[in-house]
Amino acid sequence: MVKLDNVTYWYREGEPPALRSVNLRVERGESICVMGRNGSGKSTLARLIASLRHPGRGKISINGQTVSQDATDTGVGILFQNPDNQMVAVMVEKELAFALENQAMPQEQMERTVVTLAERFGISHLLDRLTSELSGGEKQRVALASVMIQNPSVLVLDEPDSFLDETGRRILEKELERLHRESPELVELRITQNPAVAKTYKRLVVLDNGCIAADGQPSEIFEDTELAERTGLIQPLGADRAIDLPQTFGTSIQRHGERVTRATLEDGSFGYGAEADVLDSISMSLSTGEIVGLVGPTGVGKSSLALLLCGILEPTGGKVNYAGQSEALIERKLIRGQVVAILQQPERQFFLSTCAEEVAYGPSNLGHKLEPSDIDAFLDMVGLAHRQFRERDPYSLSAGEKRRLAFAAVLSMAPALVIFADPTAGLDQESVGRFMQIVRALKERNVGQLV
């Protein structure tokens, strides 16, 4: 059983609380879903229940015991939205065994348990891989297995399927069914942005601005259109109206040489270390004005292909060429700011202490200083109100807000070709609609996009 009594939490003094006077009770054996727009407090709630944070006011009880600040094992297992945040070992096999080692499990029993669990989650082929070399979906499956191996009494899942392919999602749902069947008293709290997932649960809790805005049956909550729109569960009517890129988009950044109109990978191969190539003799191109969708199961090399095209990775075989309108090849050093990528984990491309500085950083490297009004326009374009977010620390944002900041920081360079890696992961429904509008606006400006 999980119980929150009048819980309030602040990340920093002087800032509005992330959670405000939250009262919540989840009974033994109950499974609930939690929704809310980006920044509403969902991940904060998850971390408080898992004792990774402690309330500034109020108290939390797990299975009848009040959680103290020095508690080390409350029986709660948590799967983070970003699996990188909970990887502790270099090798996948060691990652799975970490909790068992802390329990002093005998070596032979530990090895059998790890092998059995890996088979159950379809990750046996990853056991001897470096965790740093896994794709986002592979990391999420490994992280889920490492949580499940502990047999928690309370399971907190923070958007556990955000980086999973269809096979991974089926494994997740099958494993959750098995867990509830074998452990009828297991408490499950699952955060999602997907209405279809929420409707499979008997109870839905909706957070809005750090408060519980609704708690009841999903069907009844979604039928209340005013509530669903106000709390970001569905896109409001008229949300599909066009978004205009800032007026300064591409007008004042001076380029050296010809503007890129096409990036081409010819017979490209790539692998990590001594492992077999992730990509083998792949050829493709991306040109200005076109939108290309790239799909495939976890681990087939989608992100690697994207990073090859924008020059972040070097192919082990084949080559990447960039050409302009004249078809003449353009040197790689001249494509800075023209062929860009927004990574699966957007925080990997943040460097500075405020959102405003992040937006201005790319153009400044290209010799152009954005005016404050320009920075505000890019923040507003992605749905981050500049008055609220301009001076915020990028690492204090929610996962969806970080992704939107990454959109603004990259698009401020007015690129010719943009590569979006899992661009809607972690976004609420309103932000997904906004992303689609941005894609349309970029196409109108003849920007090529790989999604």
Q: Are 163 and 139 in contact (CB under 8 A)?
A: yes
Measured in whole angstroms, the distance separating CA 95 from the mean position of its chain's CA atoms is 21
Question: Cα–Cα distances in Å, from 383 out to 150, 236, 403, 451?
Answer: 39, 14, 11, 20
Active site residues: 159
Q: Are 417 and 338 in contact (CB under 8 A)?
A: yes
Residues constituting the chain: 451
CB atoms under 10 Å from CB of 63, counted, come to 15
> CB under 8 Å to 20, separation ≥6 — which residues?
8, 209, 210, 211
- C-alpha count within 13 angstroms, C-beta hemisphere, residue 338: 23
- C-alpha count within 13 angstroms, C-beta hemisphere, residue 276: 6
> CB under 8 Å to 83, separation ≥6 — which residues?
136, 139, 140, 142, 143, 163
Rounded Cα gap, residues 449 and 131, in angstroms:
29
User: Closest Cα partner for 282 from 310, 318, 312, 314?
Assistant: 318
> What separation, in Å, do the N-terminal and C-terminal C-alpha atoms of the chain show?
42
Q: Are 99 and 73 in contact (CB under 8 A)?
A: no
Q: What tokens appear for 438 in the block?
A: 């941005």
Amino acid at 417: L
The strand pairing partners of 157, in sequence order, are 79, 190
